[in-house]
């Protein structure tokens, strides 16, 4: 942290930079496992960076580094002062700093993943930080959770429901979850998975790959010149 970054501004419209993907969701739903899985599957074909927002120090970043799915230097940890949602929604400055720091050190990158600290159903990423976002739930929170909604469930570009292998054990009805999620998401995609069984999160990786290709197609052109550079 804290290196002397070069003095340049990224164009706010995203030209010339990587796609920024936010991953949010409640504590224990599988956000870090998803990040590890995406790194495992996408790492060989994409230039990646990861920013973690740990509630406690560098727990998640350390987990990812130990998992060996990505060069440890490409994983940056941000502390959020007791308020994980503030750091991804109201005051995104430290996260932007971390993302831009990764791009300056390792860029150009194709994808930077920002993992939120575990939060509640009201958490959502600012559009100033994440271009696209995934909200991760798990079945063990109960099959009523999608019905309860909240901006993560209703507006995330992808809703991922994890730990389907536990559904019979906790009495969660996946049909109910699927129906309720569809009802509040206005056609936006919902995927079910068990990251314990699918350690590459292949369905999610495929969705992300589509986003990255689409982003590159629209934003890799040289940035328009501005007077504030």
Partner 1 sequence: MNAMLLLLADSRLPAGGHAHSGGTEQAVASGAVHDVASLAAFLRGRLATAGLVAAGLAAAAVTASGAGWAELDAEADARTASPAQREAARTQGRLLLRVARRIWPAPALDELAAAVPSPHHPVVLGAVAAATGCSPRDAALAAAYNAVTGPATAAVRLLGLDPVEVHRLLAGLAPALEDTAATAASACAAGESARLPAHAAPALDLLAEQHIRTEVRLFIS
Contact 54, 162 (CB under 8 A): no
Told to check if 9 binds partner 1 by CB under 8 A, we report yes
Specify binding-site residues for GTP. 25-32
Least distance to partner 1 from the beta carbon of 19, Å? 21
Told to check if 90 binds partner 1 by CB under 8 A, we report yes
Residues 6+ apart with CB under 8 A from 73: 105, 106
Least distance to partner 1 from the beta carbon of 141, Å? 24
Sign of torsion over alpha carbons 26, 27, 33, 35: positive
User: How many Cβ atoms are within 10 Å of 27's Cβ, its own excluded?
Assistant: 12
Laid out side by side, the sheet with 111-115 consists of: 75-79, 48-54, 111-115, 19-24, 132-138, 158-162, 190-192
Told to check if 6 binds partner 1 by CB under 8 A, we report yes
Told to check if 145 binds partner 1 by CB under 8 A, we report no
Q: Figure out which of the listed residues 11, 16, 91, 223 binds partner 1, where binding follows CB under 8 A.
A: 91
Calculate Rg over the CA atoms of the chain: 17
Least distance to partner 1 from the beta carbon of 88, Å? 12
Told to check if 224 binds partner 1 by CB under 8 A, we report no
Least distance to partner 1 from the beta carbon of 3, Å? 8
Contact 99, 112 (CB under 8 A): yes
Q: Which is nearer to partner 1, 55 or 174 (CB)?
A: 55
Least distance to partner 1 from the beta carbon of 11, Å? 12
Helix axes 31-42, 202-219, angle to 10 degrees: 70
Region of 23-31, 76-84, 178-186, 217-225 interacting with partner 1 (CB under 8 A): 76-84
Positions in the binding site for partner 1 (CB under 8 A): 1-7, 9, 12, 55-57, 78-83, 86-87, 90-94, 96-97, 228
């Amino acid at each position: 942290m804290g290196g002397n970054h070069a003095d340049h501004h990224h164009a706010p419209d995203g030209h010339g930079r990587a796609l920024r993907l936010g991953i949010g969701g409640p504590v224990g739903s599988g956000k870090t496992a998803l990040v590890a899985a995406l790194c495992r599957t996408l790492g060989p074909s994409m230039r990646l960076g990861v920013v973690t927002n740990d509630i406690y120090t560098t727990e998640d970043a350390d987990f990812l580094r130990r998992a060996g799915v990505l060069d440890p230097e490409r994983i940056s940890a941000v502390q959020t002062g007791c308020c994980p949602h503030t750091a991804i929604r109201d005051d995104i400055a430290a996260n932007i700093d971390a993302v831009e720091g990764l791009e300056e050190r390792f860029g150009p990158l194709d994808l930077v993943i920002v993992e939120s600290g575990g939060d509640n159903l009201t958490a959502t990423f600012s559009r100033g930080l994440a271009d696209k976002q995934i909200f991760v739930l798990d079945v063990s929170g109960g099959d009523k959770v999608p019905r309860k909604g909240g901006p993560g469930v209703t507006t995330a570009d992808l809703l991922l429901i994890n730990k389907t292998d536990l559904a019979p054990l906790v009495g969660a009805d996946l049909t109910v979850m699927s129906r309720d999620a569809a009802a509040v998401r206005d056609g936006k995609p919902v995927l079910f998975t068990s990251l314990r069984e699918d350690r590459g999160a292949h369905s999610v990786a495929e969705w992300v790959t589509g986003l990255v290709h689409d982003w590159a197609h629209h934003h890799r052109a040289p940035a328009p010149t501005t007077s504030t550079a």
